[in-house]
Structure 1
């Protein structure tokens, strides 16, 4: 039977019912819709226009399966960059720092036209500034295959285990809340905030480094993204506390994210994994040390009892979340392309608009090296 016009569907998912998720699925995934009303997104309805970029509408192929990720050798292109950035920040380019320690807005750069040297400098510049917002009207209009080829320069592209993707392009992770979507209302019946600090898929053995997120449709007001500088968060700690953290590892789990998708009849492309990563990781290009824990995916400190682990991790989570003086807030606008270094930042989207307007973004994430740390040095 064909679905009615009011049902929330995708091409490959069945009609979903409301499922109460188990604990520890993660705020990030609880908030993520896994469907949309096709008539509204494809044709416009109830005062909402159709999606501008329908080639980027999400699909969830529930029978699509991928093997476990294999280790690979990654060499960061930022190591090859000229630190004066002549091919990136050339004449005619303007930069505005959002805060002293994190975030820069850049105008006058067309990312797809950068030379190899320019892309190397991009990797280095993003590692230095942590998050860079480009005003580039052309990137979203690239054929998806070309956008993926561009991202592939920075590392092996990650295929997300559960998120929606454009049909035929699983390497694109879509952040999509369709026009008229009201699913956040049920979330806020039991939660007080949509803030969900995380580093993307930190449970992978080799999580992403240089990451691209570009806007396709944005509410008139709201839907900003917060970023936190994990390097500065580490630097704020006392020397004794830093020394205590070095040598510790924590587990990062993808199981709860997969369970959240299963609980909503969503897709699972790969079996979930658990990885151990150092709590303090070292960036291979800058040599900076950064905290590498987040409440969405980190589960416990290796070798610590649960109560001990909970106390220390809660302190670190609160330290990062309350650190407004080492955070930046990106306000999305037409043509915004945000590039950030996922190794040394945390971020959170904000579900704060009540207009029902569409929020639609695409993410391309290049995997990087396995997190490592260098010995403590005061």
Structure 2
């Protein structure tokens, strides 16, 4: 759908130069049933009074109809996690942190470490840790209080080349941010309501020649309940298959396409712009992580189109089997809640994820930003 004729992005305050995500705890009078004060962090929309200005207005989606980007060129990528492999204490950045593993092999929650304070060694260790755990939620972060230029030029570029999404909205002046946004009046995400479920499992922009690696997502505002993200371990999905089938899949490649996503935008949806012409690329169905050496499935329903060299019925049968396997694999999935001041980091090479739009009927706002460094071309 087309963006509203008069949007909040048109009335941005040019005096606002930094992003602040300082969610306030409940008021002094708020009490639990046991009589104790409720000190949990709240989203802005939970505490805002009538007439309050939205503090993250500058970071609402802006759709630059004049921006035209050239095709992406290949680049050499060396994952910073490699150096952590030789570190005598590869998890020392977690020395003062509390780590809660959500499953034995996949997903963790961490408190007690500030991402924006990590030096190069800490970031290298972070890259290895996220590659090992797949997805990690870092709680009580001040990351989003930092200057957005620092987020791109310092943080993102440490992990890879910043990716500019070809279709999505971005804060005005910062095209490297990929924004997710939905409220009671507008939806600027790549989603439809024509299916029985809102879940669309995918890995981000796998149609690029060099898809993303370590990726961050944080929310500015969210409904008090709902709007979680589900994550699936593509290593676990691979390992649950029979050895013979795994061996066969390792001989196959598939086409990943951004054409459908671009056409969705050209029809006036999401903001109605295409900043870079869509591409298709061929990637192996099973890929190897460059640091850990682990193998993972690398297909997803949103962007994978067909298996090279197979007839249509053969390709459809195998891909649909893999899609259903990934989507139904509760024993290699986690569901993470976006609490205020949380940053979720995942390795896009070995995970799939889905937004869970279980809050839409209430008209609540879900507004967040993704920082997306590109990594190496998939290989096996």
- Shared fold per TM-score greater than 0.5: yes
State which drifts further: 263-272 or 64-73: 263-272
Pair 159,227 (structure 1): closer, same or farther in 2 beyond 3 Å: same
**What are the equivalent positions in structure 2 for 1:262-273 lying under 5 Å apart?**
262-264=266-268, 266-273=272-279
Partners of 2:48 and 2:133 in 1: how far apart? Answer: 41
> Is contact 2:209-2:377 (8 Å) kept?
yes
- TM-score w.r.t. the length of structure 1 is 0.84
Pair 326,49 (structure 1): closer, same or farther in 2 beyond 3 Å: farther
Query: What SS does the corresponding residue of 2:353 show, helix, strand or coil?
Result: strand
Query: What SS does the corresponding residue of 2:127 show, helix, strand or coil?
Result: helix
Partners of 2:311 and 2:7 in 1: how far apart? Answer: 44
Equivalent position of 1:291 in the other structure: 297
Partners of 1:286 and 1:228 in 2: how far apart? Answer: 18
Query: Is there any run of 5+ residues in structure 1 with no aligned partner, and where?
Result: 1-5, 13-40, 374-378
Task: Say if 2:183 is the partner of 1:178.
Answer: yes
- 1:290-310: CA deviation from partner (whole Å, max 9, x where unpaired): 000000000000001111100
- What is the CA-CA distance between 1:233 and the residue it aligns to? 0.5
- What is the CA-CA distance between 1:247 and the residue it aligns to? 1.6
Partners of 2:192 and 2:50 in 1: how far apart? Answer: 25
Of 147, 150, 154 in structure 2, the residue corresponding to residue 146 of structure 1 is 150
- 1:25-78: CA deviation from partner (whole Å, max 9, x where unpaired): xxxxxxxxxxxxxxxx9xx99969643312211101012011000000000000
> Is contact 1:251-1:300 (8 Å) kept?
yes
Equivalent position of 1:63 in the other structure: 66
- What is the CA-CA distance between 1:357 and the residue it aligns to? 1.4
Task: Say if 2:78 is the partner of 1:75.
Answer: yes
Equivalent position of 1:300 in the other structure: 306
- TM-score w.r.t. the length of structure 2 is 0.84
> Is contact 2:286-2:295 (8 Å) kept?
yes
Partners of 1:280 and 1:192 in 2: how far apart? Answer: 29
Of 122, 125, 129 in structure 2, the residue corresponding to residue 125 of structure 1 is 129
> Is contact 1:226-1:348 (8 Å) kept?
yes
Task: Say if 2:242 is the partner of 1:242.
Answer: no
Partners of 2:144 and 2:188 in 1: how far apart? Answer: 27
Pair 271,141 (structure 1): closer, same or farther in 2 beyond 3 Å: same
Equivalent position of 1:222 in the other structure: 226
> Is contact 1:254-1:272 (8 Å) kept?
yes
- What is the CA-CA distance between 1:289 and the residue it aligns to? 0.3
> Is contact 2:216-2:371 (8 Å) kept?
yes
**What are the equivalent positions in structure 2 for 1:85-104 lying under 5 Å apart?**
85-90=90-95, 92-104=96-108
> Is contact 1:181-1:356 (8 Å) kept?
no
Task: Say if 2:282 is the partner of 1:276.
Answer: yes
Aligned residues, how many? Answer: 336
Partners of 2:243 and 2:362 in 1: how far apart? Answer: 47
Query: What SS does the corresponding residue of 2:196 show, helix, strand or coil?
Result: coil
Query: What SS does the corresponding residue of 2:159 show, helix, strand or coil?
Result: coil
- What is the CA-CA distance between 1:101 and the residue it aligns to? 2.0
Partners of 2:187 and 2:167 in 1: how far apart? Answer: 21
Task: Say if 2:227 is the partner of 1:195.
Answer: no
**What are the equivalent positions in structure 2 for 1:302-321 lying under 5 Å apart?**
302-321=308-327
Equivalent position of 1:37 in the other structure: none
Of 339, 343, 357 in structure 2, the residue corresponding to residue 337 of structure 1 is 343
Partners of 1:333 and 1:255 in 2: how far apart? Answer: 34
Partners of 1:284 and 1:139 in 2: how far apart? Answer: 27
Equivalent position of 2:165 in the other structure: 160
> Is contact 2:227-2:358 (8 Å) kept?
yes
Of 363, 366, 378 in structure 2, the residue corresponding to residue 356 of structure 1 is 363
Query: What SS does the corresponding residue of 2:372 show, helix, strand or coil?
Result: strand
Partners of 1:146 and 1:136 in 2: how far apart? Answer: 19
Query: What SS does the corresponding residue of 1:338 show, helix, strand or coil?
Result: strand
Pair 46,335 (structure 1): closer, same or farther in 2 beyond 3 Å: closer
Query: What SS does the corresponding residue of 1:340 show, helix, strand or coil?
Result: strand
Query: Is there any run of 5+ residues in structure 2 with no aligned partner, and where?
Result: 11-43
